[in-house]
Structure 1
Amino acid sequence: MTVTQAPSGFVLTVSEVAAAAGVAPSAVRFYEQHGVIRAERTSGDQRRFDAAAACRIKVAKLAQRVGLTVREIADVLADLPDDPACADWGRIAETLIAEAEARVAALKLQLAEMNSGARLCEL
């Protein structure tokens, strides 16, 4: 089914976003429910997404692999404009890299403590 471009730019269906992001349609609805992406509704109450929705989902999946919760991901993406430019995505990348580095440092510290020879129950 072909949908003509609406003035709002929200023209992609759940299935189209899912295919573009490499996720199941239920994942698209999940990310919408948790504020990672947003949709507009048609007069028939069908969801329509903008072109950035698939990219937001891909970024969310990456952030989840780093260890961020869906709430944390939604917070990171909250300031992203509706039509993000490369610089906007760059700022998101910097934020996620800093978070990943902080988590790696914390894990290295925990690993060093476990390798210290101390009894685990004393750590």
Structure 2
Amino acid sequence: MTTVTEETLSVSEVARDSGVAPSAVRFYEKHGLITGQRTAGNQRRFHRVEPCLVKIVRVAQRVGLTVAEIRDLMADLPQDRSEMTLDAFYHLRARLEDEARRRLLALTETLDELTSERKLCEIPPK
């Protein structure tokens, strides 16, 4: 359990600050993408960096990463969010950028294959 301070946010505050629905905040917590703690009154409370992490998760989803892949991407982040540093955010961003570029290259190669003069396959005659 955590002590409620001005540094913690409720589910609705994280949702508002990150631009998602409260249900998305609960989903991300359930799947280990963000970290919340419970108060003595059993309310979820989040560190003030969690809305930023939710925004990063949303970008990762747009890149096409699955929940498991996003969790792996974020595995190096400190569990104690008060220990988050700018370097940790920059490292996370760089890893996500690398993955986005890798996927873009793969999609570009696929598009080139689809739009080339080569046949993708031969349909056997009847």
CA distance, structure 1, for counterparts of residue 4 and residue 48 of structure 2: 14
CA distance, structure 2, for counterparts of residue 112 and residue 94 of structure 1: 27
Partner residue, 2:68: 71
Task: Name the count of aligned residue pairs.
Answer: 117
Partner residue, 1:34: 31
CA distance, structure 2, for counterparts of residue 60 and residue 30 of structure 1: 12
1:52-93 deviations in whole A, cap 9, x for unaligned? 110110000011111111111111112112232111111011
Query: Which segment is superposed worse, 76-85 or 54-63?
Result: 76-85
1:96-120 deviations in whole A, cap 9, x for unaligned? 1110110011011111111222333
TM-score by length of 2: 0.85
Partner residue, 2:92: 92
CA distance, structure 2, for counterparts of residue 112 and residue 22 of structure 1: 36
TM-score by length of 1: 0.87
CA distance, structure 2, for counterparts of residue 40 and residue 108 of structure 1: 42
Gaps of 5+ in 2: none
1:44 CA displacement: 1.8
Partner residue, 2:45: 48
The secondary structure found in structure 2 opposite 1:44 is: coil
Where has structure 1 moved over 6 Å in runs of 4 or more?
none
CA distance, structure 2, for counterparts of residue 4 and residue 108 of structure 1: 49
1:12 CA displacement: 1.0
1:46 CA displacement: 1.1
CA RMSD in angstroms, aligned pairs only: 1.8
The secondary structure found in structure 2 opposite 1:40 is: strand
Gaps of 5+ in 1: none
Letter in 1 for 2:17: A
Partner residue, 1:113: 113
